[in-house]
Amino acid sequence: MGIAGSAGVTEGAIADTMVAPYNVVPKLDDSVACVLVEPVAANMNIVAPTEGFLQGLRDECDRVGALLIFDEVITGFRLSHGSAQDFFSVKPDIWCFGKIIGGGLPVGAFGASKKILSVLAPTGPVYQAGTLSGNPLAMSAGATVLDLVSANDIAALSATVSKFAADLNAAITAGGLFAQTPVQGPLMGLYLSKTAFDAPRNIAEANVICGNGVYGKFFHEMLTRGVAMAPGAYEIMFVSLAHSNEDLARTCEIAGEAARCVATS
């Protein structure tokens, strides 16, 4: 959003960062060091990349010699077994991962080519270290999860999520609200409104829907019926292999009841 976001972030840091709208390939010059993007925007609910957006970023970065960085804190090892690069056939220069790489334990990681990482200590001039770097427990948990969850598991989960999204949308619509349930692999979003709308393509459009107050009312109606969803309209839904078909069917049934209450309020 082009703001500090936290006390202690200097004006200089903000000035050195340009914010471009999602799904628009910016025109770069040689003053730009890198472009950082979520392959699937998952902090404005879910906004999928339009056709050619990620490849356009790759091409524009290559044109001026900038690095393309994928923020895969959410998409990493969820979109597919090979993450966003495999899912979209676009290769970044640097990947950033969150706690999923540690099987849910507190850890973060980044990866890149040998050429890029050679600038880090101890071989290069950029110092990088951390108390928990390479923590044995987190590394063991992450490696075990990646061994246990196969590409077929992720494909099966994606199919389950696709059906659940359609069923949930139908239940909410039958209850009198308008919904969009965008899906990317096993990632799923939920936008709600009392009037018809198109799925958002960027943060400006997402703000209109997420700020209408409908999701908050729906959340509490679901919670009183025993279903805990993401508490904020900008968050996404994480259906997992632990959710049974019965769980998902019951969720849709309750969603219809919740939608009727919200629609008539």
DSSP-based three-state secondary structure for 233: coil
Going by DSSP bridges, is the β-strand pair 67-71/94-97 parallel, antiparallel, or unpaired?
parallel
Residues 158, 161: Cα–Cα separation, whole Å: 5
- Domains assigned to the chain: 11-148 (3.40.640.10), 151-263 (3.90.1150.10)
pLDDT tier at 17 (50, 70, 90 boundaries)?
confident
**How many CA atoms lie less than 13 Å away from 159 in the CB half-sphere?**
5
- Tell me the two tokens of residue 43: 């902090």
Residue 26 vs residues 42, 53, 60, 90, 96: alpha-carbon distances, Å: 20, 10, 8, 17, 21
- Tell me the two tokens of residue 32: 């730009």
**Nearest by Cα to 241 from 160, 142, 141, 151:** 160
pLDDT of residue 135: 86
**Nearest by Cα to 232 from 249, 247, 214:** 214
Residues 61, 29: Cα–Cα separation, whole Å: 9
pLDDT tens-digit map of 70-121 = 999 999 888 988 889 999 999 999 999 988 888 888 888 899 999 999 999 8
Tell me the pTM: 0.89
Position 12 pLDDT exceeds 90: no
**Taking a C-beta distance cutoff of 8 angstroms, is the pair 44, 23 a contact?**
no
How many residues appear in the chain? 265
pLDDT tens-digit map of 214-240 = 999 999 999 999 999 999 999 999 999
Residue-wise burial string across 115-146, b where 16 or more C-beta atoms lie within 10 A, e elsewhere: eeeeeeeeeeeeeeeeeeeebeebbebbeebe
pLDDT tens-digit map of 131-180 = 778 889 988 998 998 889 899 999 999 999 999 999 999 999 999 999 99
